[in-house]
Amino acid sequence: MPYSDYRTALVTGASTGMGAATVERLAAEGLTVHAVARDRARLEELAERTGAIPHAVDLSDTDALEAELGGLEVDVLVNNAGVSRQGNVLSSTREDLDDMVDVNVRAVLQLVRIFLPGMVERDLGHVVNISSIAGLYNFFGHTAYHATKAAVHQISRQIRNDTVGKRIRVTEIAPGRVETEIFGRNLGGTPEAMREAWETFYEGYESLTTEDIVSAIDFAISAPRHANLGLIEIMPTFQVPGGLTFDRREA
């Protein structure tokens, strides 16, 4: 379905990284873009640069979401926002688990609940969910993060069932390692943490860039209206999922 069929879009996690880059691309294609994030200052800078409409709102607050966004008509919904934590479930706090479930799963479901009925009524719409290879493969990582991204995978599949017979398209983008701020935020978000994250996770690696992800979103949206790209798995050429651990326990 070409961009000309759509008028409006909403992008979450829009203040930085993939979200901000997605807002830029969709606005450049002529869509009215609603940019959603918590960082008001960054959103206002993005709005000044792109013409997007900023919405400073906490995705974990459903009442705030409904109050701020409930009256909008959205043709393209991009659920990009996500959080992760260091360690695994053994070292998790209650807040760690709540944050990942609230942002990575609950907010996705609530935004779909808010906007999908309008898409169905208009017989027009596209939902793009950013998941992760963590939702498709098992490897050492945070259990809750893997679980929430697996939920996004299943939500994406199920929405297609819920809207069968309507011209609603649903695309899941499952990236590998992308050069964003997520690792730096996990380390504390300070300039020193950002530098440490870059040196640890990106320096010397050919990681994906935000432009790679935006290009995949663009490809899915601009596909012919009769074609739905359901799942796009995109990883660096030098990154592969896999591996098997068989631990020996000494007597």
The predicted-structure confidence for 156-215, as pLDDT tens digits, reads as follows 999 999 999 999 999 999 999 998 777 777 777 788 877 887 787 778 888 999 999 999
Token pair for residue 139? 């490897």
- Residue appearing with tokens 């919904």: 77
Q: Catalogue all structural domains in the chain, each as residue range(s) with its CATH number.
A: 3-234 (3.40.50.720)
pTM of this structure: 0.93
What's the pLDDT tens digit per position in 2-40?
A: 789 999 999 999 999 999 999 999 999 999 999 999 999
| Residues labelled as active-site residues | 145
What whole-number distance in Å separates Cα of residue 95 and Cα of residue 60?
Answer: 12
Both tokens of residue 58? Answer: 């906490």
Alpha-carbon gap, residue 226 to 196, rounded angstroms: 46
Q: What are phi and psi of 133, to 5 degrees?
A: -65, -20
pLDDT the model gives residue 150: 98
Q: At what angle do helices 107-122 and 143-162 cross, to 10 degrees?
A: 10
Confidence of residue 1 (pLDDT cuts 50, 70, 90): low
Which amino acid appears at position 244 of this protein? L
